[in-house]
Amino acid sequence: MSITHIVLFQFKAGTEPEVVKDTCDRMLALRDNCLHPTSQKPYIKTSSGGADNSPEGIQNGITHAFVVEFASAEDRDYYVHKDPVHQAFVRSLDGVIEKAQAVDYTPGVY
């Protein structure tokens, strides 16, 4: 069963727009750069994201959102815990991200 992984970022105040764009571009590039450990092929099914534009006013500081889809919980778990490309990306966020949140779900499972 597929897993949808939602990632929310709040960038630190004063972060340069070029840094924000680079971080978002690199987040979306994980789709092509993260390789499955056995097949050595990209394993992220889909990835999208962008800057918040909600008029609701309930973002609580969140400025950017990303949705990443995996074919299985095993792929998601590898991504979160072991993928060296993802791990390097997470380390690169130090000093740039004020707050990060992640929520995962299996579509249709309540």
Is there a contact between 96 and 15 (Cβ–Cβ < 8 Å)?
Answer: yes
Give the strand order in the sheet containing 44-51.
44-51, 64-70, 3-11, 97-105
- The pLDDT tens digits of the residues spanning 92-105 come to 999 999 999 999 99
pLDDT in tens, 14-50: 999 999 999 999 999 999 999 999 999 999 999 999 9
> How many percent of the chain have pLDDT more than 70?
100
CB of 47 closer than 8 Å to CB of 28:
yes
pLDDT for position 16: 97
Q: Give the CATH fold of the 3-102 domain.
A: Alpha-Beta Plaits (3.30.70)
**C-alpha angle 99/62/101, rounded to 5°?**
50
